Structure 1
């Protein structure tokens, strides 16, 4: 079996200059999330992880307005987040609420129906930079939305390979758990 010489196939190669995108390219690009939808996409990915992998119920994504009255450093925080925001767009906090199927922390208690309390989950990217003032803004926004004192928030760190890792962020100091 004779294969064609490599030189003959190269001679037939025709390179076209880069031009405007074809209709199919424009349709594909339109299907990609824009910068305005990146946070909604991140929230939906974390919500899907909680739903399908961790079996949470009563899941909902909220966009809570972050008003200037809720935080004295509002302008500073929104300016810091304008380049790497994973939880704030158009002055709205993207956060998920849901009910876990089992105890997340040793002190969690069940209600009369055998259910655990609603938890608040903040989707974030691993490259996000956090400060105490940002966390204060998150707690203040959720507390004003729910009219309840918030003890903790789960931070859902979404990595480039789509892994989601959850961390507790408590309001204030807590006593360390004893190893059993």
Structure 2
């Protein structure tokens, strides 16, 4: 993992747990770990087996005991690249606003992983 030395060991452990869970339990494909100087912590990108939306999703591994502030969320959303790392096909349909949402992977002490969708700001509900 690039720049792994710049992240604490417990963060790297969370990334590993979530990556394995996405690959083996949730059946995601095209998984990649992204760790750059502008990211406050590593992110994972991948394609869900049953697409939540159409394109790749960003996944932020966090510990259940962490207390996230609005400032920390803003830093994460500001650091997400404007383009998805590997777009699928242009024929797949319109994309959500890039950088406007991510999947938070919350890891408990027994390594159970629960996923939540987090948006940057207020989002209108989808029309059915």
4+ residue stretches of structure 1 with deviation over 4 A?
144-148
Structure 2 unmatched ranges of 5 or more:
1-6, 86-96
Partner residue of 1:100?
48
2:13 to 21, 41, 51: 41
Q: Is the 8 Å Cα contact of residues 64 and 141 (structure 1) preserved in structure 2?
A: no
Correspondence 1:118 to 2:51:
no
Q: Which residue of 2 aligns with 1:162?
A: 111
Q: For structure 1, list consecutive stretches of 5 or more residues without a partner in the other structure.
A: 1-34, 67-90, 109-115
Q: Report how many aligned residue pairs link the two structures.
A: 111
Aligned-partner Cα distance in 2 for 1:36–1:150: 25
CA RMSD of aligned residues (A): 2.5
Please give the per-residue CA displacement for 1:20-58, whole angstroms capped at 9, x wherever unaligned. xxxxxxxxxxxxxxx942211210110000000010001
CA distance in 1, matches of 2:51, 2:77: 22
- Cα distance between partner residues in 1 of 2:13 and 2:69: 24
Q: Aligned pair in 2 of structure 1 residues 150, 36: CA closer, same or farther (>3 Å)?
A: closer
In the alignment, the residues of structure 1 paired with residue 13 and residue 83 of structure 2 have an alpha-carbon distance, to the nearest angstrom, of 22
TM-score (norm: length of structure 1): 0.55
* Aligned match of 2:71: 133
